[in-house]
Amino acid sequence: MDSQDVYDDLEEVLYTADQIQARVDELAADIDRDYADKDVLIVGVLKGAVMVMADLSRALTSHITMDWMAVSSYGSGTKSSGVVRILKDLDADLMNRHVLIVEDIIDSGLTLSWLKANLESRGPASVEICTLLRKPEAAKVSIDVKYVGYDIPNKFVVGYGLDFAEKYRNLDCIGILAPHVYE
């Protein structure tokens, strides 16, 4: 699905499919360089990170292993509590591993802050974060992120894995959702 298919639903296209691919390739080059002499386990956080995991992993030139987690905000359904529930845990043992968490977006930072601490408690050699998008204005906690694709405005964005009510994940670009869709 491309932006023309959902033309009326988007206020603006922030990044085209080509721009995203180019930026993901740059992130992969940075990761290749930084982990040149290390085995890295990349951990995708379902569901939003599926697209960036697929493209990032294929852009890497060295061997990696991949694993997945699914998490959800506990209780109220809002993310602001920062209390996270694991819906699907990793298959891999993290002891002495170099772990790179891959996310589509960091909004408040609460999910990743919790997740990083959780993975760090499992005895890994290192835990770093790569996110395609980050909203600096929405940050509720400060979180050290090694790889960031783009810092974006505090708007409702969809596409390339990001959803509204489970839709738009298969949109090939990233766009700002028009308010009439969700208001």
Q: Which residues bind ligand PRP (CB under 6 A)?
A: 45-48, 79, 103-112, 163
Taking the complex as a whole, the smallest distance from the CB of residue 126 to ligand PRP amounts, in Å, to: 20
* HSE of 148, CA atoms in CB hemisphere, 13 A: 14
* Smallest gap from residue 73 Cβ to ligand PRP (A): 7
Q: Six-digit token pair at 142?
A: 């400060």
107 as an active site residue: the answer is yes
Q: Which residues contact 145 (CB under 8 A, 6 or more apart)?
A: 106, 112, 129, 130, 131, 134
Q: Six-digit token pair at 3?
A: 């932006």
- Least Cβ distance, residue 97 to ligand PRP (angstroms): 21
Given the residues 93, 107, 151, 163, select the one marked as catalytic: 107
Q: How far is the CB of 147 from ligand PRP (least distance, A)?
A: 15
- 43: how many CB neighbours lie within 10 A of its CB? 26
Cα 112 → chain centroid: 9
Return the number of the residue (41 or 158) whose C-beta is nearest ligand PRP: 158
At 104 the three-state DSSP class reads strand
Active site residues: 107
